[in-house]
Amino acid sequence: VVSTQSTGSSGINAEYGKQWYQRRVRGGTKIRDLCLDFQYTPGSRVYGYTEHELKPGGAGVPVTVHNMEEYADLCRSFCLHTGIRRQMEAFRSGFSVVLPISRMKMFVPAELQLLLCGEMSPQWSRKELLQYTEPRFGYTRESKGFLNLIQVLLEMSGTERKCFLQFATGCSSLPPGGLANLSPRLTVVKKDVEGGPDMSLPSVNTCVHYLKLPEYSSKRNTATTAPPVHSGEGIPSQLM
């Protein structure tokens, strides 16, 4: 069985190669049994090719424990640099039509991420929730059901907040400026159901950020029906 020790390379490439090896080789598998060579094979035919030589004659060079770090480095370079160079140049050209790249120097990377992607770690306070969330059609800012929801949202972790936003708005992040700049604002309306509110589930119109929430009998019941964990349907699993 091959060893996972470095073959002498140092720095990030050696560590990357070791991590790649540990992910690909399990349960005592010998690396030669993977039948790899110095070609990159895409995961879909949509890219228009079935393999690409990572170096001249790569189709005839098997990957071994002695050259696996070189293989991992060439794969990374192809996937993140040389293999997407034309696409990135086209993106740069198109982006420059809207905003010249030279103007981007005024922003630090964190500011650009915020402008392009919004708030990736949603933050809100009780004051912001009460100010920028609209209770309507059966709910007021003093309604027990609405206030229970506000408290549940405050107690959510960052991951839970992202999942709630995904469910309620169709997007897991907030725009720059947070809830104040969410448009349209999150609206919470009372959902009347037969059999009592505790027997029903919330529903949403994501395009208008419209949350239809039964007036549950307690905050605990509200929490169990507005949880963070998603199912494959995009609805919180505990709502199912």
CA atoms of 176 and 173, how far apart (whole Å): 9
Render the burial of 106-132: b for 16+ CB within 10 Å, e for the rest.
eeeeeeeebeeebbeebebeeeebeee
Q: Where are the beta strands (DSSP E) in 96-214?
A: 134-136, 187-190, 203-205, 210-213
Residues 6+ apart with CB under 8 A from 202: 191, 211, 212, 213, 214, 225, 226, 239
Instruction: Single out the residue of 81, 35, 75, 24 nearest to residue 52, CA to CA.
Output: 75
CA torsion 193→194→200→203, rounded to 10°? -30
Residue 236's H or E segment, with its range, is none
Instruction: Reply yes or no on whether 207 is catalytic.
Output: yes
Can you tell me which residue has the tokens 């209770």? Answer: 135
Can you tell me which residue has the tokens 């079935």? Answer: 50
Does the bond joining 184 to the residue before it have cis omega, within 30 degrees of 0? yes
Name the catalytic one among 35, 79, 117, 207: 207
Catalytic residues: 207
